Structure 1
């Protein structure tokens, strides 16, 4: 049965529609005075952004396989002076520590947003700004390796998107000084794939929000179990998420039908208690305009989102703690030598972690 289902949907068709980064990118980064600055591009024109409510910082995480631009939006009332902009980080057996005193622990909840296909930081920024202001949270948006300003430079793959998000999560904890239990992963459409996968790895997360998610890539084309060739099999993974979950979908979505969310919701309930998951079907909302319903924050949907964003996660175990430290990748600073990992692909089990420790963890590279 699996073979016949696979034959109905050619791999070439799946690959064509799975990863479609905008070209050209809808934003640019400019390096000045030792840091990156983010500029969205609207109708071909670079725009200067200014917010009275938010501080906007830009970073690029980079190693030999990974190139992840990200923007970090923080409420000005809680903004801290960054004293370690270009400090090199050293490793010890317990954790990564900067050679200056670590910053004060941040007190706002943090959303890490994984965007949809055919999207990048240029259009995600405005959504992030509204979420940060409306719900009183800090916000990180990032591009998958091969998207945005990294288009054409690196291979795009399902596994790579997992490494990208795990690196951003580790960066938020080791460099930006958030705690795992104050971080919410938020995945939109294709972004529900990496968000769900990483949420299964870290039970101490504060929550998982899935916006117009897919049950899996092949299920987006047609219902069925497609075996190992399927991608982003969220409907098989969601039962292993230990954090609180909120699924949001529009009942008029013509791109990803709300049946995909219903499948995720029902699969979760087959193995878990109802109290850990909620689903909101928004009347009259489609795929891309669902965000405007979310941004308002005034109705029952806004209350559900606000309620999840206020709840901190539980404790995380030693395996999760170790994995987050091992996946730390320092930001790219042109012309400087930095210590970082060459590969994150093997960091999926405690045995591999121990093996990597024994055989050495670092390589010295020069960033250009």
Structure 2
């Protein structure tokens, strides 16, 4: 998300003021699809075909551990879903909402690596207008997309909310916070979250206007699940102050991870990232559940 000049903002709001259009101009950058899904005769199961742009880092054996299929959101869009089996008997499945300018094809190798290291399966999906998902990338579609993914994960795989960890990264924190404000789960992880679209474009914004897209700052206080916030202190896209404000507004937070010197796209390269996630999932969550 890049900042807009005052004149550009006025043009956006006056022709006419439409929050979904503002959100689209501020945030969405769907890449050229890096995969395709070929479904069987029933249309319920698919085969994943990755392009070279997906930069797959594993063998065909790992590729076979990935299940793909389509579901429909309540707005009628066809949503591409990916279930990555990373562990034989995992306690948790991570419902991962990825960042901007990527799709689940590009993220597939990362999911394999992350899930195997955390002993968790990972379920992900593409937003409307991303990858093989139909429709347009709009704020209201984001919320419908994650709702469809949540329902598919629960109904298709029989996974209970107490065994689901919601993980949102960057723009993916927007639907994650929205879903977490309405459903309780095992935990919520917010990686480089934003307070709202206006606060990203105009850092001096101190209130949520009616046309402000992605108002996570007003929803996060309704999240009942334990929340881990992760943010790089040198984030050049979503300022560190956003993560701090979200952390302070949430009701049930655990110790956050502020990654010194990390920007927006390199937090995962720091050793404390994986260490903090592993400790949270294997040590803190079981004790929180027991209490």
TM-score w.r.t. length of structure 2:
0.82
Alpha-carbon offset, residue 156 of structure 1: 2.3
Q: Which of 240, 247, 253 is the aligned partner of 2:222?
A: 240
Cα distance change, pair 184–60 in 1 and its aligned pair in 2 (3 A):
same
Alpha-carbon offset, residue 158 of structure 1: 1.1
Kindly indicate whether the alpha-carbon contact (under 8 Å) linking 1:206 and 1:312 is maintained by their aligned counterparts in 2. Answer: no
* Matching residue of 1:95: none
Helix, strand or coil: the match of 2:146? Answer: helix
1:133 aligns with 2:116: yes
Please give the alpha-carbon distance, in whole angstroms, between the structure 1 residues aligned to 2:54 and 2:110: 20
Alpha-carbon offset, residue 284 of structure 1: 2.2
Kindly indicate whether the alpha-carbon contact (under 8 Å) linking 1:162 and 1:194 is maintained by their aligned counterparts in 2. Answer: yes
Q: Which of 175, 180, 187 is the aligned partner of 1:199?
A: 180
Cα distance change, pair 296–233 in 1 and its aligned pair in 2 (3 A):
closer
* Matching residue of 1:60: 70
Alpha-carbon offset, residue 292 of structure 1: 2.7
* Matching residue of 2:17: none
Give CA deviations for 1:147-202 in whole Å, capped at 9, x if unaligned.
Answer: 1123xx41321111111111111111111110111101100000000000000101
Please give the alpha-carbon distance, in whole angstroms, between the structure 2 residues aligned to 1:57 and 1:261: 33
Q: How does 1:163-182 map to 2 (within 5 A)?
A: 163-182=144-163
Q: How does 1:96-111 map to 2 (within 5 A)?
A: 108-111=91-94
Please give the alpha-carbon distance, in whole angstroms, between the structure 2 residues aligned to 1:44 and 1:239: 36
Q: Which of 231, 255, 267 is the aligned partner of 1:278?
A: 255
Please give the alpha-carbon distance, in whole angstroms, between the structure 1 residues aligned to 2:27 and 2:189: 21
Alpha-carbon offset, residue 312 of structure 1: 7.8
Cα distance change, pair 200–123 in 1 and its aligned pair in 2 (3 A):
same
Please give the alpha-carbon distance, in whole angstroms, between the structure 2 residues aligned to 1:38 and 1:69: 11
Kindly indicate whether the alpha-carbon contact (under 8 Å) linking 1:247 and 1:280 is maintained by their aligned counterparts in 2. Answer: yes
Alpha-carbon offset, residue 234 of structure 1: 0.9
Q: Which of 190, 213, 219 is the aligned partner of 2:199?
A: 219
Cα distance change, pair 231–129 in 1 and its aligned pair in 2 (3 A):
same
Alpha-carbon offset, residue 140 of structure 1: 0.6
* Matching residue of 2:9: 9
* Matching residue of 2:238: 256
Q: Which of 161, 166, 174 is the aligned partner of 2:142?
A: 161
Cα distance change, pair 172–25 in 1 and its aligned pair in 2 (3 A):
same
* Matching residue of 1:317: none
**Unmatched runs of 5 consecutive residues or more in structure 2:** 13-20
Please give the alpha-carbon distance, in whole angstroms, between the structure 1 residues aligned to 2:217 and 2:48: 36
How many pairs does the alignment contain?
Answer: 272
* Matching residue of 1:40: 50
Cα distance change, pair 39–294 in 1 and its aligned pair in 2 (3 A):
farther
Cα distance change, pair 175–234 in 1 and its aligned pair in 2 (3 A):
same
1:72 aligns with 2:48: no
Over the aligned positions, Cα root-mean-square deviation in angstroms equals: 3.0
1:19 aligns with 2:28: yes
Cα distance change, pair 200–31 in 1 and its aligned pair in 2 (3 A):
same
Please give the alpha-carbon distance, in whole angstroms, between the structure 1 residues aligned to 2:271 and 2:76: 34
